[in-house]
Amino acid sequence: MIIKGFHHVAVNSADFDKSEKFYTELLGLKKVRAWGGEKSRCAMYECEDGACIELFEVEKDVEKPESPIVHFAFNVDDPDAFIEAVRKEGYEITVEPKTADVVGTPGFVARLGFCKGPSGEIIEFFCMK
């Protein structure tokens, strides 16, 4: 089992266009993926080292979450092994390991799983296929 680094931090946005402009035009990140519908746009913006900000549009009629941070993701070699290791130690698994085929621009396939860390933080173990 190897953690290769951070893959992304996921952020909820009440103003997607403003957030996108902030990350691309002001901070200079490159938009590398986009998916979702008219009211639920999602996109990834990449740093020079390959780590990303994953932005989720929060629908206007939906109550805003307490924190804009949704989760953070480690880029790993084997998400299933990490999920089993944290499960063995008694940590809550919030999403069982699965393969996600995300339709977008461009589409991508990833293996992933989620758990709650010791402080309640949501951690994703992510591997691009």
Q: What percent of the chain has pLDDT over 90?
A: 67
Instruction: List CB contacts of 84: < 8 A, sequence separation 6 or more.
Output: none
pLDDT at 64: 66
- Which residue bears the tokens 């860390």? 117
pLDDT at 4: 93
The total domain count for the chain is 1
**pLDDT, tens digit (0-9, with 9 covering 90-100), for 14-67:** 889 999 999 999 889 999 999 998 878 999 999 999 999 999 998 776 676 677
Res 1 pLDDT > 80: yes
pTM of the model: 0.77
Q: Which residues form the domain of 81?
A: 3-128
pLDDT at 59: 76
SS3 19: helix
CATH number, domain of 114, equals 3.10.180.10
Q: Say which range, 40-44, 105-109, 112-116, has the weakest mean pLDDT.
A: 105-109
- Which residue bears the tokens 């309640």? 120
d(CA 4, CA 15): 32
